[in-house]
Amino acid sequence: DGGITQSPKYLFRKEGQNVTLSCEQNLNHDAMYWYRQDPGQGLRLIYYSQIVNDFQKGDIAEGYSVSREKKESFPLTVTSAQKNPTAFYLCASSIAAGSGKYEQYFGPGTRLTVT
Amino acid sequence: AQKVTQAQTEISVVEKEDVTLDCVYETRDTTYYLFWYKQPPSGELVFLIRRNSFDEQNEISGRYSWNFQKSTSSFNFTITASQVVDSAVYFCALEGGSEKLVFGKGTKLTVNP
């Protein structure tokens, strides 16, 4: 079945450590996105990529980094520079970015806890 | 700037009741798209509907219906004869010229048996 996988479901890290969250899609979508969700909040865009080897900052990119070396993969690294990394992280993809013509499909999310 | 407001933080109903989730948006774009997503307890967002700014026709899909009114900048979502499986957080979202999806804070719906 086509879809988006994120692993692991739960992740625990010590403060000061970088951590990479995995996101893979087999939908053959060009665009991929990373969102952060905090309790009682909507989703906020961290980074997005419209095509391989290209990505743009979203609204809250500070303390995060991404890469897009393959069409199906868009890993997110939460660096030690991110002040409040504990959150629920959602990856999404769509046929193409922008214009609203295409809905985004979401993965199951990774809940990151940093202590 | 684009903004989506879901004023209802939490709603609790009894099964079979009808419930309406409100969504008010702000944008200066003339072309934009509105979305509703459902987030069940599992966490994954599920796409429900997309409307463009030029199509104000109401839409019905089974027990779900959507009312889009540009005059009041609203895109409300009604569930008829609610069921326990409808319990989830529902997000309204907007995409305009910025080409980024802007989400509201969500409405948590609890349907009690």
Interface of B with A (CB under 8 A): 4, 9, 32-33, 35, 37, 42-47, 50, 52, 91, 93, 95-96, 99-101, 103-106
Q: Is A109 on the interface with B (CB under 8 A)?
A: yes
CB A19 within 8 Å of CB B79: no
Exposure string for A21-42, b = 16+ CB within 10 A, e = fewer: bbbbbeeebbbbbbbbbeeeeb
- Number of C-beta neighbours around residue B59 at 10 A: 12
The pLDDT assigned to A40 comes to: 82
A vs B: CB pairs below 8 A: 60
Q: Return d(Cα B27, Cα B4) in angstroms, integer.
A: 9
Backbone angles phi, psi at B58, to 5 degrees: -70, 155
Which band of pLDDT confidence, cut at 50, 70 and 90, is reported for residue A99? low
Q: Return d(Cα B66, Cα A10) in angstroms, integer.
A: 35
Per-residue pLDDT of chain B in tens (113 residues, 90 and over written 9): 899 999 999 999 999 999 999 999 999 999 999 999 999 999 999 999 999 999 888 889 999 999 999 999 999 999 999 999 999 999 999 998 777 899 999 999 999 99
The pLDDT assigned to B8 comes to: 97
Exposure string for B94-110, b = 16+ CB within 10 A, e = fewer: bbbeeebbbbbbbbebe
- Number of C-beta neighbours around residue A101 at 10 A: 12
Contacts of B36 (CB under 8 A, 6+ apart): B23, B48, B49, B66, B75, B77, B90, B91, B92, B93
Q: Give chain B positions within 8 Å (CB) of A54.
A: none
Q: Is the pLDDT of residue A1 over 80?
A: no
Q: Is the pLDDT of residue A106 over 90?
A: yes
What digits encode the pLDDT tens for the residues A36-93?
A: 999 888 899 999 999 999 999 999 999 999 999 999 999 999 998 888 999 999 999 9
Q: Return d(Cα B87, Cα A47) in angstroms, integer.
A: 30
* Structure token digits, residue B19: 């419930």
Q: Give chain A positions within 8 Å (CB) of B95.
A: 98-100
